[in-house]
Each structure stands twice: as C-alpha cells, then as structure tokens.
A and B are shown apart, each in its own frame.
Chain A
Amino acid sequence: DTGVSQNPRHKITKRGQNVTFRCDPISEHNRLYWYRQTLGQGPEFLTYFQNEAQLEKSRLLSDRFSAERPKGSFSTLEIQRTEQGDSAMYLCASSLGATDTEAFFGQGTRLTVV
C-alpha cells in the first residue's frame, strides 16, 4: 500500500490524558499536513511540514498540541491534557510540494475524549 497511513484509526481516551497519533506519508512526498475535522465541517488546517521543518501552525493549534517530523518521513501529533473539545477526526495528508500538486489524505484517526 503506497498511500498515506495513519495509526491508530480510533482512539478513546479519558479527559486529561495525553495521546499521540502517527502519520506515514507517501514516500516521495516532502510536504506533510495535519488537519482536524469535526461533524458537519470541512477539514481545518492545523500545521504543515516541508521535510523535517515545521513551517506553519494554525491558531487552532493550542500549546497542548505538538507535531514533529524528525527525519522528514513519518510525523507524530501529540495532544497533552486532552479536553472533550479535542474530539474530532485528525487527518494527515502529504504532497510532492511542487505547484499544482494535490494533497493525498490518510484515512484519519478518530479521537473521542470521554
């Protein structure tokens, strides 16, 4: 399978716990994006990497959120001290980074904070 892979697919956690999600992009893609989607909304941009460098973070990304892409390949998104409002689908996407190239999405991680 050469698509974008996200793990886990589902995560249920208690409020206040930390969670970490992983994204493996398409191998030759140097850009990696994280999005969040809640019910009835479109995906909202969270952050993006060009290789290992995190180049942009949305105002949606509070201090409790941190993302890394240490070797320019896979990425992790950690949420500390989870809140019920963090419940959402977290989507990862990757692209070649050239002009006119689309982003390919993974299947997402569904987070439920109880």
Chain B
Amino acid sequence: GAVVSQHPSWVICKSGTSVKIECRSLDFQATTMFWYRQFPKQSLMLMATSNEGSKATYEQGVEKDKFLINHASLTLSTLTVTSAHPEDSSFYICSATMAAGYNSPLHFGNGTRLTVT
C-alpha cells in the first residue's frame, strides 16, 4: 500500500516552454503533498507544500509564479514549471502522507528528471 505515482519520469523541453508534472496517490487519499527538487549529488530541497482545495505554501526563495502547484483532488497534485530555463533542469520529486499529523511517514514518487535545452 501507500504508492505514489509520478509522471512523467523524465522530460526534455525547450527553453521558454512549460512542463507539467503529475503526482498521484494510488491507494490512499492525501490531503497534503510535498514537492522537492534535487540537484546532482545534493540533498532534496523542499519547494512547497500542496494542500488539497487550497493554495500551496511555498518555501522561502521559491517563485510561486514560476512553479505553479495545483492540488485539485485528494489523489492528485500537479507542478507546472512555467517558462522553463536551463537552470530549472533538475530532479523533481513529490511525496504524500496518509495522515498529515504525528508519526506519519512520507511516501515518495520516483521523481521526474527535467532537462531544459
């Protein structure tokens, strides 16, 4: 149980275009999902907290107009990288928790490798 599916697993896009990444909880409902990005050989950096039915909460330094997050249902959150540039190339990972409270581990998708040319 507790499977998180992320799609696509990799994407190449041209500079200036937008890319949408989907994160689905397959066998549980997730009121809260988290988006991270990871550069090679570095740790995960939390970008934002995605809350079902409300606006996402972005971490300091993350541009909300560039990284659009939509959490329209209890099983789906999307991250759209708008007007992508080569410096946006990274590994994006989503995660979800079954119960947004005490003692609940995160379940991660397998990540999306974005390359902007």
A joins B in a complex: no
